[in-house]
Amino acid sequence: SQELEQSPQSLIVQEGKNLTINCTSSKTLYGLYWYKQKYGEGLIFLMMLQKGGEEKSHEKITAKLDEKKQQSSLHITASQPSHAGIYLCGADKGNYGQNFVFGPGTRLSVLP
Amino acid sequence: DVKVTQSSRYLVKRTGEKVFLECVQDMDHENMFWYRQDPGLGLRLIYFSYDVKMKEKGDIPEGYSVSREKKERFSLILESASTNQTSMYLCASSLNLQGPSFYEQYFGPGTRLTVT
């Protein structure tokens, strides 16, 4: 079973709409990372959250990590076609090296 | 900007062939990673390296080996390719040996390998 769950699996929104993607773990995380992948390409690092309650923004994308450090949300305001892609969360489970896992991804389509 | 390049975007090999996938990064990063990405299974770590000639197994190292003779270059080797190794292979690098930046990874464009 996946150690990180993401919801929804896929999302289709009209351009200009807001949306939220969630990433959930059953265990406390030492770090939560958001990446974006354009179809058939590599991943682009978006942001990293470490502290409970932390919130970061980059352009129209805001990510939050809850106080218990088990859930993160990624919010896009006024979505644009350029936001389309697959959003993956990744988590550091606390041990050096191979204890980093990715979520299954959320596929976002933005209709013009 | 960090640039991670991979030697091929698409590769077709026959079962039993030895396959080399090359990855080069130009930002003097300490760490380099090889992942494979499959539908329904997501991204899985094969191997990573935190220094020249150093390597650590990831979640699925079986059937693969790696080589890091120079800091900027990390090679993934399939000694005898099999059809179940058909996948998208992604290379990544990150700056620091420890701490949160270890996982602030920069990815290459990927190599889509088909083994027939």
Q: What is the pLDDT of residue A18?
A: 97
Tokens describing residue A45: 């690092």
Split at pLDDT 50, 70, 90, the class of A20 is very high
**Chain B positions touching chain A (beta carbons under 8 Å):** 4, 40, 42-43, 45, 48, 50, 56-59, 88, 90, 92, 98, 100, 102-110, 112
> Chains A, B: CB contacts under 8 A, how many?
57
Spatial CA neighbour of B6 closest among A43, A89, A86: A43
What is the maximum span of chain A, computed from C-alpha positions, in angstroms?
A: 43
Please give the C-alpha separations between residue B51 and each of A8, B41, B68, B72, in angstroms, as whole numbers.
38, 28, 8, 10
The closest CB to that of A48, out of B4, B88, B104, belongs to B104
- Return the half-sphere exposure (C-beta side, CA atoms, 13 A cut-off) of residue B86: 10
The model's pLDDT over A43-89, given as tens digits with 9 standing for 90+, comes to 999 999 988 899 999 889 999 999 888 899 999 999 999 999 999 99
The closest CB to that of B48, out of A31, A48, A97, belongs to A97
**Cα(A101)–Cα(A24) distance, rounded to whole angstroms?**
12
Provide the pairing of β-strand B19-25 with B4-6: antiparallel
The model's pLDDT over B40-51, given as tens digits with 9 standing for 90+, comes to 888 999 999 988
How does the average pLDDT of chain B come out, rounded? 92
